[in-house]
Amino acid sequence: MQEMVHPLIIHGHWLLAASLLLLVNMFESSPLLQGKSFPYMTSDVNEVSGKSFDYIVVGGGTAGCPLAATLSERFCVSGRKRRLPLWKSFGVKGRVLGGSSAINGGFYSRASDEFVEKVGWDRELVKECYEWVESKIFSKPELAIWQSVVEFGLLEAGFLPYNGLSWEHVEGTKIGGTMFDEFGIRHTSADLLGVGNPENITILLTATVQNIIFHSNGKGNEKIARALGALGSPQILMLSGIGPEKHLKNFNIPLVLDLKGVGQEMKDNPAIALLADTKAEYRLPDTPQVAGIAKDFKFIVQGGILPISFNATRMPMAIKLAFPESKGKLKLNSKDPRQNPSVQFNYLSKKKTQMDELRWLNCLKG
C-alpha cells in the first residue's frame, strides 16, 4: 500500500513570515482536533499553481505534520547537517494525513539517551520536542485487565525494576503513553497542525510528487523538505535523479548525482509474536500499554488483544529487536511514484541477530 503525500505551504515574505506548502496524497483524512483553527486544505492543484512558497514539505505523515507546524511559527531553523545512521511480504503504510501515527498501536515511549547521543542530536532540544508532542497528543492510559496481566507477567519473567508510568526508555517494566484519550479517540501527528499558525500553511491533498526538479542556477529562497519516511524518501530521491547511476539508468532517469548510498543499509526491527487464541470474550481491540525493556535496551516485549472473528479473540505477545545488525536495500520498481519500491531487509541474515532472537524467543515462551 502506498503512502499518500500531503504538501504543506507556508505563506508570506521569508523575513516576516514563512509560507509553507504541505503536499499530501491520501485516500481519506484523519480525525483532527475539534474546535481548533486548521490550515486551509484543498485538493485542487490550480489553487496553488504559480504561487511561491518559502517551504514545501513533501509528506504529511508522522514527521511532515509537526515539521510544517513548527516552520509556520519558527521558520528560521539551524542549517547544520546530520548523518543518520526470503519470502515476499507486504507492509502497511499510513496513507492518511498523520501517516503511520494514524494506524499504529498507539503506544508511546521516548528514545533512550544512548540513541539520542549516538545520532548526534542535542539532548535538551530533543527533550523540548518530546514535551511539546506529549502535551498535544499523548495521555496516561487506564490500564486494561489484560494489560495488568501482561504487566505482572513481565515482572515475573525478570523485567525489573518496575517503573510505573514513564515516558522514558528505561530498563524494566513500565506503563507507556497512549495516543487514545479517555473517549477512545486516537490523536495523531496531524493534530499538531492545529497548534501551528494556520495563516501560514496550505495543505494540498491528493497530490502525488513525481520528482524534485533541480536548477543549478537557481536564486530562490524556497526550500523543499522531504518527510516521506524511510521508504518514500530514497524513492523520491532516485526518481529525482539522485542515487546509484546504474540503477537509475535501468529506468531511463536522468542522472543528477551518482550517490550509491541512496536506498542502501535499510534496517527494520524484526519482531516475533506468540499468538494465543481464545473465546470471544473481548470485542474491542486492546492496544499495548505496558512494555518490558531488556537490560541492553535491545528488546521490547508487549502484548495486546485482537478480535479476529465473532467467535475468537487473539492475544499476541510480541518481542521486538532494536538496532539489528542485518541490513538490506531499496530499489525502484517503476518510474511511477505511486508504485511502491522493492525493499529487502535481509531479516536475520547475521548470525548474532539470529542468536539474539532465539534467546529472547525462549524467554517469551517461558
CATH number reported for the structural domain that contains residue 176 in this entry: 3.30.410.40
Query: Which of helix, strand or coil describes residue 189?
Result: helix
Asked if residue 236 belongs to a domain, the reply is no
Is residue 264 very low, low, confident or very high in pLDDT (cuts 50, 70, 90)? very high
**pLDDT at res. 14:** 31
Q: Would the pLDDT of 302 be above 90?
A: no
Instruction: Pick the range with the lowest mean pLDDT from 50-64, 72-86, 273-287, 314-328.
Output: 72-86
**pLDDT at res. 3:** 40
**pLDDT at res. 296:** 75
Which stretches within the chain are classed as H helix? 64-73, 113-118, 123-136, 145-156, 229-239, 245-249, 351-365
Range of the domain at 130: 107-182+271-323
Q: How far is CA 355 from the centre of its chain?
A: 28
Q: Would the pLDDT of 17 be above 60?
A: no
The torsion of the CA quartet 98, 100, 105, 106, rounded to 10 degrees, works out to -30
**pLDDT at res. 306:** 79
Asked if residue 204 belongs to a domain, the reply is no
Average pLDDT, the chain: 79
Cα end-to-end distance, the chain, whole Å:
36
Q: Would the pLDDT of 260 be above 90?
A: yes
**pLDDT at res. 218:** 59
Q: Which of 281, 275, 270 is nearest to 345 (CA)?
A: 270
Asked if residue 331 belongs to a domain, the reply is no
Asked if residue 310 belongs to a domain, the reply is yes
CA distance 245 to 112: 37
Asked if residue 316 belongs to a domain, the reply is yes
CB 19 within 8 A of CB 35: no
Instruction: Pick the range with the lowest mean pLDDT from 31-35, 140-144, 170-174.
Output: 31-35
Phi, psi of 167 (to 5 degrees): -80, -25
Asked if residue 124 belongs to a domain, the reply is yes
Task: Work out the average pLDDT over 97-113.
Answer: 89
* Residue 15 grid coordinates: 523575513
Is residue 121 very low, low, confident or very high in pLDDT (cuts 50, 70, 90)? very high
Cα distances (Å, whole numbers) of residue 74 to 63, 69, 203: 16, 9, 18
Neighbours of 59 (CB within 10 A): 30
Q: What's the number of domains the chain is made of?
A: 1
Q: Would the pLDDT of 281 be above 90?
A: no
- Relative to beta strand 257-258, strand 242-243 is parallel
CA distance 366 to 364: 5
**pLDDT at res. 217:** 63
**pLDDT at res. 89:** 60
Handedness of CA 191, 93, 299, 343 (dihedral sign): negative
CB 112 within 8 A of CB 127: no
Task: Work out the average pLDDT over 174-197.
Answer: 90
* Residue 136 grid coordinates: 498535544
CB 208 within 8 A of CB 25: yes
Tens of pLDDT, residue by residue over 110-119, are: 998 888 999 9
Asked if residue 159 belongs to a domain, the reply is yes
Q: Would the pLDDT of 78 be above 50?
A: no
Q: Would the pLDDT of 277 be above 90?
A: no
Asked if residue 83 belongs to a domain, the reply is no
- Phi-psi category of residue 54: left, alpha or beta, with phi > 0 → left and psi -120 to 50 → alpha: alpha
What percentage of the chain carries pLDDT values higher than 90? 30
Task: Work out the average pLDDT over 142-154.
Answer: 88
